[in-house]
Amino acid sequence: MATKTVVEGDENQIHSELVPLLRLGLTSKPRWLPSLLLWDAKGLQLFEEITHSEPYYLFEAEKWVLEQNVNSITDVIKPNSVILELGSGSLEKTGIILEGLVRKQRPVDYYALDVSESELDRTLNTLRQRLNNNNNNTYVKCHPLVLTYEQSFSWLLNNPTLHGRDITILWLGSTIACESRQESIRLMAAFAAVKKQSQIGKLQFLIGVDGCKDPTLVSRAYDFPPGLTRKFALNCLDNANRVLSQQVFNPKDWVFQGVWDAENSHYNTRIAPTVDLTVEVKGHPIALKKGEPVSVIVSRKYGEAEVGKLVQDAGYFTAKAWKHRDMDYGFYQVRLE
């Protein structure tokens, strides 16, 4: 069933909250930029193009797991419950799960959370058409949320339409592994705390996680010709200029500098200035040396045992795991203890 697009949240507010993070990241050692800068409309479109490129194995691996196990996966989503997807992106793989629910005639409300209003409009319209055209959908209602992860806590706490309803938090694309281990634990524990303080029903996560640690496969996935991932990484500087409402960064003065860290099993997407620079962030001048790396996003690789330990430390347990036939890619049902 198509529903009128009512956006809850404010992109401008999200941008204003990024300013102190920009200053903090650029004055830290090692230096970093908030990964939220990657996900403006252009960044989301570039990433969608990346996911359709052959070297980016994560998309097809997760899609295979979902397609092969959709009946079992949708069995754990109860009728009249709510699905909240963190960082919804293109919604292509999400559609596999939602189509499965439509086939089972299982009514749910689906909320796509992301930080670009225009991209949420575009992707949700495509998703609604897909559900209607293929399945004559009258069961899955789709809604946008222009919010950060942190802002969703208040939404869960203060939304009376959620009272008494079970919540499934959907975290696809190994996005959980783009947060530090400590931050992932903190976020999951915060959702558990929200559940205790609110009137919502049961809470569970469905999480896709990549465990591949082959340096060749991983490096090709995050840096491949014709430089699409480089455009994606450097686009964050254009978005930073929009956040700061002035031309602080010139992308022409920066290069991509991604690296696979075998010891810590993660790929660090970094950029670096090609000349010595001084950038001014709201009255604070910050000196950057030529070639000094600035981390944009880190993609960590977790096998099943590592996922189990992470969720346990957050107060959850792994109830079910669906795995790829050939690759170390898992999709996990995670519940509160």
Per-residue pLDDT of the chain (337 residues; tens, 9 = 90+): 334 444 456 666 777 788 999 999 999 999 999 999 999 999 999 999 999 999 999 999 999 999 999 999 999 999 999 999 999 999 999 999 999 999 999 999 999 999 999 999 999 999 999 999 866 789 999 999 999 999 999 999 999 999 999 999 999 999 999 999 999 999 999 999 999 999 999 999 999 999 999 999 999 999 987 789 999 999 999 999 999 999 999 999 999 999 999 999 999 999 999 999 999 998 899 999 999 999 999 999 999 999 999 999 999 999 999 999 999 999 999 999 7
Distance, CA of 270 to CA of 254 (rounded, Å): 10
Residue corresponding to tokens 């102190």: 20
Give the start-end residues of each E strand in 120-252: 140-146, 167-171, 203-210
Q: 231: buried, middle or exposed (CB in 10 Å: 19+, 13-18, 0-12)? A: middle
CB-based contacts of 269: which residues, under 8 Å, 6+ apart? 222, 229, 233, 256, 258, 295, 296, 297, 298, 299
pLDDT at 4: 40
The whole-number pLDDT of residue 10 equals 64
H-type alpha helices, 28-111 = 41-51, 57-75, 92-103
Q: How much is the pLDDT for 106?
A: 96
| Domain locations in the chain as residue ranges | 8-15+43-213+302-336
Residue showing tokens 């942190």 = 150
Q: What is the pLDDT of residue 14?
A: 78
- State the pLDDT at residue 2: 38
C-alpha count within 13 angstroms, C-beta hemisphere, residue 145: 22
**How far lies 4's CA from each of 59, 102, 159, 166, 327, in Å?**
29, 19, 18, 23, 40
In sequence order, the 6+-apart residues with CB closer than 8 A to the CB of 50 are 56, 228, 229, 232
Tokens of 101: 């629910």
Rounded to two decimals, the pTM is 0.93
In this structure, whether the domain defined by 8-15+43-213+302-336 belongs to CATH 3.40.50.150 is answered with yes
Task: Give the C-alpha separation, 218 to 56, whole Å.
Answer: 8
Residue in 84, 73, 21, 9 with CA at minimum distance from that of residue 296? 21
Sequence-distant (6+) residues with CB within 8 A of 16 are none
